[in-house]
Amino acid sequence: MLRSEQVTIDCLQYCNWSPKIFDQMAQGGVDAVHVTICYHEDFGETVQNLETWNRQFQDCSDRIIPGRFAEDVLTARAAGKTAIFFGFQNCSPIEDDIDRVEICHQLGVRFMQLSYNNQSLLATGCYEKEDPGITRMGRQVIREMNRVGLVIDMSHSAERSTLEAIEYSTRPIAITHANAASWHPALRNKSDDVLKALAASGGMVGFSLYPHHLRNQSECTLADFCEMVADTAEKMGIDHIGIGSDLCQDQPDSVVAWMRNGRWTRDTDYGEGSSSIPGFPDPPAWFRDNRDFPTLCEGLLTVGFNKTEVGQIMGGNWLEFFRCSFVREN
């Protein structure tokens, strides 16, 4: 069991990656980050993104290392570096070819969402009016993801699809970046039914710091956020919660337009924003970049978590989940 290890893991970021941000990870004591390498890209475009990351690993080898398994987090921590784990926020890279699941895992990908806001070949996104659940191909892909050790992520999926993914998967799944809908009823946040089913199956949720997922958005206080974490811990149990900040640092607004619109629409879709606020929202004052993780630790201590529990939330639980999830089924 690696749950008691004192590590800091953020299970979702999509920043405009640079040496400055890698330095800030070190300053904040961040040992591992799950980074998005796909929103709407096809397989070939995703490989190009992997090529870019290979150059980052070469150019910034004093700060980052590739992450493939849980042990890489401990290696990074010992060296004062950050392990980078790859994930897809959509299933578009596998296109309609189930064999791509194993190829993507072999390329280092460790998380894949079955849908991103819209209906996909596999599942329904949270912005669709109807949710028919996991598709026939979706069931086959879930089975293949279970086999190879590619984690099912339902962060942007609708309720029925998420509950069915939990049911059909033989391994625990993740919701890497979302909050409790009972606290803030954003379309992206998750119902108590989903959170409880996730915990009962051994899964994990990563709490999001993206303003549209926060009560009072950019004005959300640290205390209010940490009270939500405490309330969710009561519902799910301390072993099933972590951080998935959804930090989008230094990104131009053209990137959020790509995230929301891709190539699927000629209209402008504002997602969780609006025509009056079309770009990235301002982050809360207490979490602007990776240097603020110690502030989050202090907030969790203030609302009543002990040091062991804070260690689990900040990374220990994710580390144990990585240990169990990234390997092939026996």
pLDDT in tens, 203-250: 999 999 999 999 999 999 999 999 999 999 999 999 999 999 999 999
CB 66 within 8 A of CB 83: yes
Low-confidence winner among 125-139, 191-205, 275-289 (lowest mean pLDDT)? 275-289
| Mean per-residue pLDDT, 63-72 | 98
pLDDT per residue over 225-235, tens digit each?
999 999 999 99
Instruction: Quote the pLDDT of residue 46.
Output: 98
| pLDDT > 70 fraction of the chain, expressed in percent and rounded | 99
Instruction: Judge whether residue 276 has pLDDT over 80.
Output: no
Domains and CATH numbers, the chain: 14-26+36-65+87-325 (3.20.20.140)
The residue whose two tokens read 């293949």 is 144
CA-CA distance, 76 to 97, in Å (whole number)?
A: 34
| Mean per-residue pLDDT, 66-75 | 98
pLDDT band at 182, cuts 50/70/90? Answer: very high
Among candidates 326, 227, 219, 226, which has minimal Cα distance to 281?
Answer: 219
**pTM over cut 0.85:** yes
| Mean per-residue pLDDT, 311-320 | 98
Instruction: Judge whether residue 12 has pLDDT over 70.
Output: yes
CB 81 within 8 A of CB 128: no
